[in-house]
Amino acid sequence: MSLLLRVVATLLLVVLLALLLGPGTVIEQNVIGFDKVAHFFAFGFVLWSFGVLFPRRTRVQLAIAAVLFGALTEILQGMVGRDADVFDLLADSAGIATALLVWAWWRGFRPRAARTPAT
Protein backbone atom coordinates (compact mmCIF):
# COMPACT_ATOMS: atom_id res chain seq x y z
CA MET A 1 0.00 0.00 0.00
CA SER A 2 1.38 3.37 -0.87
CA LEU A 3 2.40 5.86 1.77
CA LEU A 4 -0.06 8.39 0.33
CA LEU A 5 -3.01 6.02 0.82
CA ARG A 6 -1.95 5.30 4.39
CA VAL A 7 -1.67 9.02 5.14
CA VAL A 8 -5.12 9.68 3.61
CA ALA A 9 -6.65 6.79 5.58
CA THR A 10 -5.11 8.04 8.83
CA LEU A 11 -6.23 11.63 8.23
CA LEU A 12 -9.73 10.43 7.39
CA LEU A 13 -9.97 8.53 10.68
CA VAL A 14 -8.64 11.50 12.66
CA VAL A 15 -11.12 13.91 11.02
CA LEU A 16 -14.03 11.50 11.54
CA LEU A 17 -13.08 11.00 15.18
CA ALA A 18 -12.94 14.78 15.68
CA LEU A 19 -16.36 15.19 14.04
CA LEU A 20 -17.88 12.35 16.04
CA LEU A 21 -16.55 13.56 19.39
CA GLY A 22 -16.65 17.32 18.83
CA PRO A 23 -19.66 19.54 19.30
CA GLY A 24 -22.69 18.78 17.13
CA THR A 25 -23.22 20.91 14.03
CA VAL A 26 -26.26 22.97 13.06
CA ILE A 27 -26.87 20.67 10.08
CA GLU A 28 -27.00 17.61 12.36
CA GLN A 29 -29.55 19.30 14.57
CA ASN A 30 -31.75 20.84 11.86
CA VAL A 31 -31.80 18.38 8.96
CA ILE A 32 -33.84 15.29 9.79
CA GLY A 33 -31.97 12.10 8.91
CA PHE A 34 -28.70 13.82 7.99
CA ASP A 35 -26.95 12.37 11.03
CA LYS A 36 -27.82 8.79 10.09
CA VAL A 37 -26.82 9.27 6.44
CA ALA A 38 -23.52 10.82 7.56
CA HIS A 39 -22.87 7.85 9.88
CA PHE A 40 -23.68 5.41 7.06
CA PHE A 41 -21.16 6.91 4.63
CA ALA A 42 -18.54 7.76 7.27
CA PHE A 43 -18.32 4.18 8.47
CA GLY A 44 -18.05 2.86 4.93
CA PHE A 45 -14.93 5.02 4.78
CA VAL A 46 -13.82 3.74 8.19
CA LEU A 47 -13.84 0.21 6.74
CA TRP A 48 -11.83 1.43 3.72
CA SER A 49 -9.34 3.16 6.03
CA PHE A 50 -8.93 0.04 8.16
CA GLY A 51 -8.35 -1.99 4.98
CA VAL A 52 -5.58 0.37 3.91
CA LEU A 53 -3.97 0.56 7.35
CA PHE A 54 -4.23 -3.14 8.23
CA PRO A 55 -3.65 -5.04 4.97
CA ARG A 56 -2.93 -8.36 6.70
CA ARG A 57 -6.43 -8.61 8.20
CA THR A 58 -9.42 -10.25 6.52
CA ARG A 59 -12.45 -8.25 5.44
CA VAL A 60 -14.54 -9.76 8.23
CA GLN A 61 -11.93 -8.88 10.88
CA LEU A 62 -11.82 -5.32 9.58
CA ALA A 63 -15.63 -5.07 9.55
CA ILE A 64 -15.81 -6.28 13.15
CA ALA A 65 -13.13 -3.76 14.13
CA ALA A 66 -15.08 -0.98 12.37
CA VAL A 67 -18.30 -1.89 14.23
CA LEU A 68 -16.37 -1.91 17.53
CA PHE A 69 -14.91 1.49 16.60
CA GLY A 70 -18.46 2.73 16.01
CA ALA A 71 -19.62 1.37 19.37
CA LEU A 72 -16.66 3.00 21.11
CA THR A 73 -17.41 6.37 19.52
CA GLU A 74 -21.02 6.13 20.68
CA ILE A 75 -19.90 5.38 24.24
CA LEU A 76 -17.44 8.29 24.10
CA GLN A 77 -20.13 10.59 22.71
CA GLY A 78 -22.18 9.89 25.82
CA MET A 79 -19.20 10.91 27.92
CA VAL A 80 -18.50 14.21 26.11
CA GLY A 81 -22.01 15.60 26.27
CA ARG A 82 -23.33 14.33 22.95
CA ASP A 83 -26.13 11.84 22.48
CA ALA A 84 -25.04 8.21 22.44
CA ASP A 85 -27.57 6.73 20.03
CA VAL A 86 -28.07 3.06 19.20
CA PHE A 87 -29.55 4.15 15.85
CA ASP A 88 -26.23 5.82 15.01
CA LEU A 89 -24.54 2.48 15.64
CA LEU A 90 -27.10 0.79 13.38
CA ALA A 91 -26.36 3.35 10.66
CA ASP A 92 -22.62 2.73 11.19
CA SER A 93 -23.16 -1.01 10.86
CA ALA A 94 -25.30 -0.62 7.74
CA GLY A 95 -22.59 1.52 6.14
CA ILE A 96 -19.94 -1.03 7.05
CA ALA A 97 -22.05 -3.93 5.71
CA THR A 98 -22.71 -2.06 2.46
CA ALA A 99 -19.03 -1.19 2.05
CA LEU A 100 -18.14 -4.82 2.80
CA LEU A 101 -20.50 -6.02 0.06
CA VAL A 102 -19.15 -3.46 -2.42
CA TRP A 103 -15.59 -4.49 -1.52
CA ALA A 104 -16.39 -8.18 -1.97
CA TRP A 105 -18.15 -7.50 -5.28
CA TRP A 106 -15.23 -5.34 -6.47
CA ARG A 107 -12.82 -8.19 -5.69
CA GLY A 108 -15.03 -10.80 -7.36
CA PHE A 109 -16.07 -12.33 -4.01
CA ARG A 110 -12.62 -13.88 -3.63
CA PRO A 111 -11.24 -14.02 -0.10
CA ARG A 112 -8.88 -11.21 0.68
CA ALA A 113 -5.31 -12.42 0.51
CA ALA A 114 -3.04 -11.18 3.27
CA ARG A 115 -0.45 -8.82 1.93
CA THR A 116 2.87 -7.90 3.35
CA PRO A 117 3.25 -4.26 4.33
CA ALA A 118 5.15 -2.07 1.89
CA THR A 119 8.63 -1.21 2.97
Q: For 12-63, how does the pLDDT look when each residue is reduced to its tens digit (9 = 90+)? A: 999 999 999 988 766 666 677 788 999 999 999 999 999 999 999 999 999 9
- CA 105 – CA 102 distance, rounded (Å): 5
Full-model pTM: 0.83
Domain coordinates in residue numbering, the chain = 3-106
The answer for 109, left when phi > 0, alpha when psi is -120 to 50, beta otherwise, is: left
Query: Which uninterrupted H or E stretch holds 21?
Result: helix 3-21
- Model confidence at 86, pLDDT cuts 50, 70, 90, reads very high
Q: What confidence score (pLDDT) does residue 4 get? A: 95
Question: What is the per-residue pLDDT for 28?
Answer: 65
Rounded distance between C-alpha atoms, residue 73 and residue 54, angstroms: 20
Neighbours of 113 (CB within 10 A): 9
Across 64-72, average pLDDT: 97
Backbone dihedral angles phi then psi of residue 87, each to the nearest 5 degrees: -70, -30
